Amino acid sequence: MPRGSDVFLQNISKIVVFIILAFALYLFFTGHGSPGGGFIAGLMSAGALLLLALAYDIETVRKVIPIDFKIVTAVGLLIALCGGTGSLLFGEPFLKHAFGYFQLPLLGETELHTALIFDLGVYLAVVGVTMTILLTIGEDN
């Protein structure tokens, strides 16, 4: 797929996209105790996909992630809603969160918080909205 002399951009973006996505994952999980969170992690993931779309083309991005980003937005909103309504099952008010300490296999004792589910919803919604905007504008010809 390399066309012409875009070879520098394409090869370096293959590496850099993974660095950006890894940093987005870091930002997503670190949002509870230090700067980060679902919003900027979503923006950063969308930036990585935008870099792929710049280095190759939009068809490649569609082939790498063969899902409709409008559905990603909907799923994100649904996850955030479920994370909010899940507390109603335990007789707590809407959006009441809980946390606990668990022994995970590799990480040891880890604090898990249901706010992460809400954040996952935010993340997916932001990725979906940003990529929908970018791909819609980019395909206008």
Partner 1 sequence: MATIVEWIAIVLALAGAVFCAISAFGLIRLPDVYLRSHAATKSAALGVLFVLVGAFVYFWVVDGDVNIKLLLAIVFVFLTSPVAGHLNGRAAYRSGVKLWKGSVRDDFKEVLEKKGATAPKSVQQPEPPRKP
Tell the smallest beta-carbon distance from residue 19 to partner 1 (Å): 6
Quote the crossing angle between the two packed helices 38-55 and 7-30, to the nearest 10°.
Answer: 170
Pick the binder of partner 1 from 8, 90, 94, 101 (CB under 8 A).
Answer: 8
| φ/ψ (deg, to 5) at 111 | -90, 120
Tell the smallest beta-carbon distance from residue 23 to partner 1 (Å): 6
Using rule CB under 8 A, residue 14 touches partner 1: no
Pick the binder of partner 1 from 2, 18, 19, 64 (CB under 8 A).
Answer: 19
Half-sphere CA count of 115, side-chain side, radius 13 A: 14
Residue 4 or 93 with smaller CB distance to partner 1: 4
Sign of the C-alpha dihedral computed for residues 27, 119, 54 and 18 taken in this order: positive
Q: Give the burial class of 126: count Cβ atoms within 10 A of its Cβ; 0-12 exposed, 13-18 middle, 19 or more buried.
A: buried
Tell the smallest beta-carbon distance from residue 33 to partner 1 (Å): 14
Which residues of this chain interact with partner 1, rule CB under 8 A? Answer: 5, 8-9, 12, 15-16, 19, 22-23, 26
